[in-house]
Amino acid sequence: MASADYLVGPVDLQTPSARPVAHDLRDDLDLRAVRCLLVLGEERHYGRAAERLHLSQPGLSRAIAALERSVGAPLVLRSSRPVGLTREGEVLAWHGRRLLAQQRAAFEQLAAVKNAVRSIEASSEPRAG
């Protein structure tokens, strides 16, 4: 890929000279890790977030660290108590809520289509008689 068409990213709108963060769209965004970020942002405590997610605290920390590596930015303010999100974390959380809602909607729609196909197939089967 010779062009830079795949480079996109969030822009800090508060800084006039801000440039988009380069991100290769070939990288996958782990929605499970995004969910971890959202819950951590809501709970503002690693222990409670880990419990809610049915993870160990080290497992949650690893998921957040991997997500930070994936997006190339710190997402969590580790020095604050309660735990907070960085500006990048807030941006990803905002988009993450929408991504997870879209994922749920897609699965719901797929289930509806699957049920409709089954219903049509069942009604078109020849009946014994």
What digits encode the pLDDT tens for the residues 51-63?
999 999 999 999 9
The whole-model pTM stands at 0.71
CATH code for the part of the protein at 31-96: 1.10.10.10
What digits encode the pLDDT tens for the residues 48-101?
999 999 999 999 999 999 999 999 999 999 887 899 999 999 999 999 999 999
Cα–Cα distance between 35 and 42 in angstroms, integer?
11
Q: Domain limits of the chain?
A: 31-96
Closest alpha carbon to 68 in 84, 51, 92: 92
**What is the C-alpha R_g of the chain?**
21
Cα–Cα distance between 16 and 53 in angstroms, integer?
38
> DSSP strand E in 8-129: where?
76-77, 84-85
